[in-house]
């Protein structure tokens, strides 16, 4: 790592089967540009992954020096995974909160995604200013209920959330040509021109999924679309028009 200078990379704190699956998905062919990953783990002596895009730092991810070695200052996202070596799920959440706090204190604008064991511990992560705490038990319960009421729904979500199999959900900036248009007006444009389905938009962290009112898209909104590959041309839609005028 001494001769490597990383930027806009993803840091993963803690090695597990979950980490292995995340790296595999991050480097799937359909995801587009391969993302550099820095794995931090205190127990391993060397990288468990033979991948030129994966770098390894041995150490405690709650340690400032270790985070500096992982180039936290230039990272885009930090993923904090539960430490499964701890038998008590509460202790796993406590350690995740400690790691998250160290990351946020060192660099508050890095995007943090944290694996959470117990829903009641969510408030601790929110106090640590985590961007997306993901409670595994909550997601499992909700998916089980929906699958029971809508048979096959779990298969649908599994397909959507797996890169390399069918279509996936991508997040893109609202293109210039759609700013000022309503959500309903944008739906057929995105479908006809980019073979993608508009699902929702994100406005300052608030998700509007298939809004029923005639919501107008604004500059700064991000779109969630379902597509077979990253709709790069969609993000540039309108710029081509301006350039040709």
What is the CATH number for 224? 3.30.70.1450
Q: Are residues 238 and 121 in the same domain?
A: no
How many domains does one find in the chain? 2
Pair (173, 232) in one structural domain: yes
Residues 41 and 114 in one domain: yes
Domain contains 135: yes
Low-confidence ranges of the chain (pLDDT < 70): 1-4, 30-32, 238-245
Which are the contacts of 242, defined by CB distance < 8 A and separation ≥ 6?
176
Measured between alpha carbons, how far is 54 from 11 in angstroms, rounded to an integer?
Answer: 10
Asked if residue 195 is part of any domain, the answer here is yes
Q: Do 17 and 122 belong together in one domain?
A: yes
Residue 47 lies in a domain: yes
Whether residues 48 and 124 share a domain: the answer is yes
- Distance (Å, whole) CA 72 – CA 7: 9
Q: How far apart are CA 61 and CA 39, in angstroms?
A: 10
Residues 16 and 130 occupy one common structural domain: yes
Residue 90 and residue 179 share a domain: no
- Cα-flanking dihedrals φ and ψ of residue 135, to 5°? -90, 115
**CATH code where residue 108 lies:** 3.40.50.720
| Residue 34 sits in the same domain as residue 71 | yes
Query: Within 13 Å, how many C-alpha atoms sit on residue 93's CB side?
Result: 19
Report yes or no on 43 lying in a domain: yes
**In this structure, what are the phi and psi dihedrals at residue 169, rounded to the nearest 5 degrees?**
-90, 130
Last residue of a domain, one of 122, 141, 160: 141
| Cβ neighbours around 76 below 10 Å, total | 14
16 assigned to some structural domain: yes
Clarify whether residues 119 and 214 are in a common domain. Answer: no
Same domain, 132 and 230: no
| Domain coverage including residue 57 | 10-141
Judgement on whether residues 227 and 126 belong to the same structural domain of the protein: no
Q: DSSP states of the chain as a string?
A: -TT----S-EEEES-SHHHHHHHHHHT-GGG-SPPPEEEEESS-SS-S---TTEEEEES-TTSHHHHHHTTGGG-SEEEE---TTSS-HHHHHHHHHHHHHHHHHH-TTSEEEEEES-GGGHHHHHHTT-SEEEEHHHHHHHHHHHHHHSTTHHHHHHHHTSTTSS-EEEEEEPPGGGTTSBHHHHHHHHHHHHS-EEEEEEETTEEEES-SS-PBP-TT-EEEEEESS--HHHHTTTHHHHHH-
The values of phi and psi at residue 171, to 5°, are -110, 125
Q: Is residue 163 part of a domain?
A: no
Q: Angle formed by the axes of helices 136-149 and 153-160, to 10°?
A: 130
Per-residue pLDDT at 227:
92
Task: Kindly tell me the burial class for residue 29, based on how many C-beta atoms sit within 10 Å of its own C-beta (0-12, 13-18, 19 or more).
Answer: exposed
Q: Is residue 34 in some structural domain? A: yes
**Residue 5 belongs to some domain of the structure:** no
**pLDDT tens-place string over residues 123-150:** 888 888 899 999 988 888 888 898 999 9
State the pLDDT at residue 164: 72
Using alpha carbons only, give the angle 47, 14, 57 rounded to the nearest 5 degrees. Answer: 45
Among residues 99, 125, 141, the one where a domain terminates is: 141
- Whether 127 and 15 share a structural domain: yes
pLDDT at 238: 67
């Amino acid at each position: 790592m001494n001769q490597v200078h990383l930027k806009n990379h993803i840091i993963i704190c803690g090695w597990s089967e979950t980490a292995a699956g995340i790296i595999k998905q991050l480097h799937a062919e359909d995801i587009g540009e391969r993302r550099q990953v820095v794995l931090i783990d205190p127990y391993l002596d060397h990288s468990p992954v033979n991948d030129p895009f994966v770098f390894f730092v041995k150490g405690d991810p709650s340690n400032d020096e270790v985070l500096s070695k992982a180039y936290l200052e230039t990272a885009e996202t930090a993923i904090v995974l539960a430490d499964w070596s701890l038998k008590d799920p509460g202790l796993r959440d406590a350690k995740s909160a400690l790691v998250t706090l160290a990351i946020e204190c060192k660099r508050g604008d890095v995007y943090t995604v944290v694996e959470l064991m117990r829903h009641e511990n969510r408030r601790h992560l929110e106090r640590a200013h985590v961007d997306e705490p993901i409670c595994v038990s909550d997601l499992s319960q909700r998916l089980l209920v929906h699958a029971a009421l809508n048979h096959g729904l779990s298969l649908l979500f599994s397909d959507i959330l797996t890169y390399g199999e069918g279509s996936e959900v991508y997040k893109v900036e609202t293109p210039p040509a759609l700013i000022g248009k309503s959500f309903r007006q944008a739906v057929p444009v995105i479908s006809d021109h980019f073979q993608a389905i508009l699902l929702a938009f994100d406005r300052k962290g608030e998700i509007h999924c298939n809004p029923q009112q005639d919501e107008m898209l604004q500059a700064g909104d991000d779109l969630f679309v379902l597509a077979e590959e990253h709709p790069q041309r969609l993000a540039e839609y309108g710029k081509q028009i301006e350039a040709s005028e």
